[in-house]
Amino acid sequence: MPSLQQSKLAFIGGGNMASAIIGGLVSQDMNPRNITVSEPWDVNRAKIAELGVQTTTSNSEAAGDADIVVIAVKPQTTKGVCQELATAWSQRTSLPVVVSIAAGITLDSLNEWLKTGDGRTAHIVRVMPNTPALVKEGASGLLASADVTAEEKELIGALLQSVSKATEWVDKEELLDVVTGLSGSGPAYFFAMVEHLVASATALGLSKEQATRLAAQTCLGAGKMLVESSDEPAQLRKNVTSPNGTTHAALQTFEELNFKDIVDKAAIDPPVINGVRKPRKPGGYQDSGADIAYALRQKGVRVLTLNPSPSDSSHEGWSFPDTEEGIYSAVQQGATHLWANTTLFASHALQTSSRLTPLASNLYVVGQPPRLVEDFDDKCFLNNKLRELGSFTLPRACMVHPDNLREIVKQVNRYPIVGKPVRGRGSHGVRVCHDAAQLQPHAEALLAESPLIMLEEFLTGKEATITVMPPTTSRPDYWSMVPVTRFNHADGIAPYNGVVAVTANSRAVTEDEMKDPAYDKVMRQCEGVARLIGATAPIRVDVRRFQEGSEFALFDVNMKPNMTGPGRPGREDQASLTAIAAEAMGWDYGTLLQRILESAEPLDQFRNYRSPF
């Protein structure tokens, strides 16, 4: 294989990351005429052509005789790009090395999509870069397919070193997920820390410019010390922490607020799912809250925000705090409707606050009653109740607690089986276990987090998600939106959270597919669940066929469907299962939100919810 300097390179996609890598290569005396970039957008193509590289709008032309092909497109378009390239390469005697920087697309998927007509496939390297690569200070994790040679690894390592000061090879795909949480998302954590340091310093009298310069240089200097020092981070921390001094007091506050737990949960503990993943959403519910407020404003709805003029580019200032004070402040400013963009439980201020009681008959809420969520967010409880009624189709399941775990594991006579939390978040903790050796430790790990877990029959057929809308004045009964089918599973589990757009693993069911009577039957059952529990906002029901061609079974009811969607400028690529269903019905994101807003109920009715059981 030729050296990097002599190699022909093709970039499929000419966005920021591709431009950064190309700029780094050219600055290291790579001949720009050896680089061809396929980019559909004129403005991007013109900008990247300034580096002296060749440009085109044809992927197959760019990659035709390349030695290395870098796939730098959005995850949801990666499959089509790969299949196009595989077709174009069918006449090549040797295939290029393919480097994918598409977040969350697995080696197995890439290998399948890049397979030529005669069964050959390219050698593949997955890369997880980060945004500091834009200033040639990046950190990248790399994972090679088993057939990548040592020479090819050295070549790809050299390519990434043009923009990355740290290039670390890992040997397992799940470790690349760890890299994603560490260095992929890491810059956002540092930016958030600096953002809050600046805000605090500004509140105490420094100008924003002064505070920003000091905080940024502190971050840069601390990073340089980490890179250049042989000391461990803990020792460097101790070196600047005088006993009983101000730094010690600040760190003590961090500890009291469980700083380590926050980092573990936010950054280093993503669900371990080896499939296509949804991107981590900086800001969590705040991001979707900002999008909801923005999109409703665009539809002419008067929306009160914490900051009267919040920035479209930030999630901050759009939502009121999820506290009694935050809610009461919104009401005092004239709010008549509250959109509860979070999961509510019985202890929530909307249920318990006496300050809101005098307003309860004239204050409307979009969301599920806290007592409803308290009962039915427990998946085991709800599924058992539905099973007892006999009119719903569900997989077989049982509850497990520490005292009966070993006995239950001994009794399991059919694998695979699903072990999952009773109350979960997305696919966190959900795993298909293929034998007792997998089931026992997985169940023990789940029981370390919760006193009760579920074991559930594994359904081998196709999966879908059905959003059921609540009654409104214009449509006075529960009704199902278009089902959304799920694919790109990881060992049988659909990836509900992690690091890739939902459009990469979900699509609306087509009209032809809807002719299958199994869809109508399961939609009626989903509506029956919503009607039974008295849902006052959309619920999302996950269903799956027992096997291909069979009927569907209901296996998961979600009380707070994700309302992420293409809201603020720059977030046009955001989506959710409910938004995908809405689009298939001809609704844009704002229209979907308006329909949900129509379901708002007075707070007094909200508080007076009673379980049907």
User: Does the CA dihedral 356-601-373-582 come out positive or negative?
Assistant: negative
> Of the given ranges (481-485, 568-572, 601-605), which has the lowest mean pLDDT?
568-572
- CA dihedral (577, 281, 312, 344) in degrees, to 10, reads 70
Of the listed ranges 62-76, 496-510, 514-528, 533-547, the least confidently predicted one is 496-510
Domain boundary among 435, 458, 481: 458
Q: Are 190 and 219 in contact (CB under 8 A)?
A: yes
Query: What is the average pLDDT score of the chain?
Result: 87
The predicted pLDDT at position 424 comes to 66
Query: What CATH number is associated with residue 141?
Result: 3.40.50.720
User: Strand, helix or coil at 360?
Assistant: coil
Q: Are residues 435 and 572 in the same domain?
A: no
Pick from 458, 477, 501: which residue ends a domain? 458
Residue 3 lies in a domain: no
pLDDT tens by residue, 449-485: 777 889 999 999 999 999 999 999 989 999 999 999 9
One domain for residues 390 and 375: yes
CATH at 409 = 3.30.1490.20
pLDDT above 70 covers what percent of the chain? 92
Closest CA to 183 of 202, 164, 197, 200: 164
Residue 129: helix, strand or coil by DSSP? Answer: coil
The answer, yes or no, to whether residue 323 has pLDDT greater than 60, is: yes
pLDDT band at residue 495 under the 50/70/90 scheme: low
Counting Cβ atoms within 10 Å, is residue 146 exposed (0-12), middle (13-18) or buried (19+)?
Answer: exposed
Whole-angstrom distance between the N-terminal and C-terminal Cα of the chain? 69
Read off φ and ψ for residue 68, nearest 5 degrees: -130, 130
Residue 598 burial (C-beta neighbours within 10 Å; 0-12, 13-18, 19+): middle
Among candidate residues 20, 15, 18, 13, the one with its CA nearest the CA of residue 135: 20
CA distances from 48 to 13, 18, 38 (A): 11, 9, 10
Domain that holds residue 264: 186-268
In a domain, 227, yes or no: yes
Instruction: Using the predicted structure, report yes or no on whether residue 410 has a pLDDT greater than 90.
Output: yes
Residue 281: the pLDDT is 38
Tell me the two tokens of residue 475: 């449509």
Closest CA to 418 of 487, 498, 488, 490: 490
Greatest Cα-to-Cα distance within the chain, rounded to the nearest angstrom:
78
Are the CB atoms for 174 and 141 separated by under 8 Å?
no
> Residue 326 pLDDT > 50, yes or no?
yes
CATH number of the CATH domain containing 255: 1.10.3730.10
Residues 373 and 517 placed together within one structural domain of the fold: yes
**Per-residue pLDDT for 504 more than 80?**
no
Given this model, what pLDDT does residue 276 score? Answer: 28
370 with 502, same domain? Answer: yes
How far apart CA 179 and CA 130 sit, in angstroms, is: 10
pTM of the model: 0.57
Closest of 192, 193, 127, 197 to residue 162, by C-alpha: 127
User: At 146, phi and psi to the nearest 5?
Assistant: -60, -25
The CA distances from residue 441 to 135, 351, 405, 469, 613, in Å, are 44, 39, 10, 39, 34
Q: How confident is the model at residue 50 (pLDDT cuts 50, 70, 90)?
A: very high
Average the pLDDT over 405-420 and give the result. Answer: 92
Q: Are residues 220 and 353 in the same domain?
A: no
Q: How confident is the model at residue 542 (pLDDT cuts 50, 70, 90)?
A: very high
The mean per-residue pLDDT over the stretch 224-234 comes to: 91
Q: How many domains does the chain have?
A: 4
Q: How far is CA 515 from the centre of its chain?
A: 32
Question: Do residues 406 and 349 both lie within one domain?
Answer: no
91 DSSP assignment:
G
> Do 255 and 158 belong to one domain?
no
Q: How confident is the model at residue 243 (pLDDT cuts 50, 70, 90)?
A: confident
Query: Is 299 among the domain residues?
Result: no
Q: Give residue-wise pLDDT tens across range 550-567.
A: 999 999 998 876 688 888
Cis peptide before 495 (omega within 30 of 0): no
Domain boundary pick from 146, 179, 212? 179
Q: What is the predicted pLDDT for the residue at 273?
A: 27
Residue 497 clears pLDDT 50, i.e. is over it: no
Asked whether the predicted pLDDT for residue 140 surpasses 50, the reply is yes
Residues 6+ apart with CB under 8 A from 140: 127, 128, 129, 130, 133, 160, 164, 166, 167, 168, 183
* CA-to-CA dists, residue 540 to 151, 309, 470, 481, 546, angstroms: 49, 33, 11, 10, 19
Q: How many CA atoms lie within 13 A of 430 on its CB side?
A: 24
Supply the pLDDT for residue 242: 85
pLDDT at residue 501, rounded to an integer: 63
Look-up of token digits 């890369």: 127
Tokens of 489: 């599973």
Assess whether pLDDT exceeds 90 at residue 294: yes
Calpha distance 386→130 (Å, rounded): 46
